[in-house]
Structure formats: C-alpha cells, structure tokens
C-alpha cells in the first residue's frame, strides 16, 4: 500500500487534472448529444461503448464520424 501512495504522490497533478477534466467534459457532452440526436451512423449502443471506453479519442471519433449530417 505504501508503494501505491508513493505512486500517487509522484504524479504531477497540475498536468494530469486538466486532461481528466477535458475527458469528462467530452464524455458528458458526447453522451448528451447521442441521447438527443435522432439518428447516427451505426447503432447508438456501439457509440456509447466507444465514447465511454476509448479515452479522449472516443468522443472525438463520435463527433467526427458518428453524427449523421443530413441536410
């Protein structure tokens, strides 16, 4: 347990915290958009998995490829 505490203390939270915050914001916005949008390119359940489990890149991929741009 002492090694785990040392590992957490060694992390530069000034660099890591903004990345975690950006990840959370991207995930929340992407999931809200996915819920509100009528149709997507592919099944919605697959986009939920991509958004939630592929860190940072998942929500970005959803916004680029998942949204159907009709019109």
Q: What does the domain layout of the chain look like in residue ranges?
A: 12-66
pLDDT at residue 67, as a whole number: 82
pLDDT score of 71 more than 70: no
pLDDT by residue (tens digit) across 25-48?
A: 999 999 999 999 888 888 999 999
pLDDT at residue 63, as a whole number: 87
Average pLDDT over the chain, rounded to an integer: 87
**DSSP string for residues in 4-63:** HHHHHHHS-HHHHHHHHHHHHHHHHHHHHHHHH-S-BSS-HHHHHHHHHHSTTHHHHHII
Q: pTM for the full model?
A: 0.75
């Amino acid at each position: 347990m002492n090694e785990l505490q040392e590992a957490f203390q060694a992390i530069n939270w000034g660099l890591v915290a903004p990345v975690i915050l950006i990840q959370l914001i991207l995930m929340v916005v992407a999931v809200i958009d996915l819920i509100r949008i009528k149709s997507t390119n592919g099944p919605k359940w697959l986009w939920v998995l991509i958004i939630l489990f592929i860190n940072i890149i998942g929500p970005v991929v959803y916004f680029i490829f998942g949204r159907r741009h009709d019109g």
